[in-house]
Amino acid sequence: MKNLVKGAVLAVGLFAGLQIASAQQKIGHLNADEVFQATAEFKAAQEQLKTLGETKQKELDGMIAELQKKQKEADELMNNQSPANKAETETKLQALGQEFQQLQTRVQEVQKVAQDDVRKKEQELMTPIQSKLMTAINSVAKEKGYAYIFDIGSGAAVYYDGGEDVTADVKAKLGIK
């Protein structure tokens, strides 16, 4: 009978201890954007994207300069039009108008392709960084025994009071000082 009572008390004690232990899960938070932007890979990716953007912009600027040249040429023809050269001027203006339209369409197409190229390159460069960040966060969470880590930078945690900020731990895991 004594053993039965001791067993029951022990079982109740273990059950209560498990309930308390499960109720005390560790919760942490970090600003993932801050960590993401602090990585060397992000900074290198930003430089690559900046260079790509500048290259695409130079190409567009050249095409826009050509458009402006055609517009100026048309303006000059209009200003120099006389009754004697009216037919010839109108023919030239029509040809310039068609060239202008074609060039304008090309500019729009090149602009769209440039935006798509930059967007694709951004995704290509940022996806591995995001993956590396998630791996570091998961590693820190497992090492430190966190049940939850909220990203306070994205607004995912509407309210938090306390918890431990693991931003520094994740940065350390990624080798960021």
How far is residue 25's CA from residue 117's CA, in Å, rounded to a whole number?
45
How far is residue 102's CA from residue 16's CA, in Å, rounded to a whole number?
79
Q: Confidence class of residue 138 from pLDDT cuts 50, 70 and 90?
A: confident
How far is residue 169's CA from residue 174's CA, in Å, rounded to a whole number?
9
How far is residue 135's CA from residue 173's CA, in Å, rounded to a whole number?
10
Per-residue model confidence as pLDDT tens digits over 84-104: 888 888 888 888 889 889 999
Q: What class is the 2-173 domain?
A: alpha beta
pLDDT at 22 over 70: no
Q: Which run of H or of E encompasses 123?
A: helix 86-144
Residue 23's pLDDT is 53
Q: Which run of H or of E encompasses 163?
A: none
Q: Confidence class of residue 105 from pLDDT cuts 50, 70 and 90?
A: very high
Residue 162's pLDDT is 62
Per-residue model confidence as pLDDT tens digits over 45-77: 999 999 999 999 999 999 999 989 888 988 888
3-7, 92-96, 111-115, 139-143: range with highest mean pLDDT: 111-115
pTM, 2 dp: 0.68
Q: Are 63 and 106 in contact (CB under 8 A)?
A: yes
Q: Confidence class of residue 8 from pLDDT cuts 50, 70 and 90?
A: very low
Count other C-beta atoms under 10 Å from residue 98's C-beta: 10
Q: Are 99 and 26 in contact (CB under 8 A)?
A: no
Within 8 A by CB and 6+ apart from 66, the residues are 103
Count other C-beta atoms under 10 Å from residue 152's C-beta: 19
Terminal CA-CA length for the chain: 63
How far is residue 165's CA from residue 149's CA, in Å, rounded to a whole number?
9
Phi and psi dihedrals of 164, rounded to 5?
Answer: -110, 135
Q: Is pLDDT larger for residue 86 or for residue 3? A: 86
Q: Is pLDDT larger for residue 29 or for residue 129? A: 129
Q: Are 100 and 63 in contact (CB under 8 A)?
A: no
Domain positions in the chain are 2-173
Residue 21's pLDDT is 47
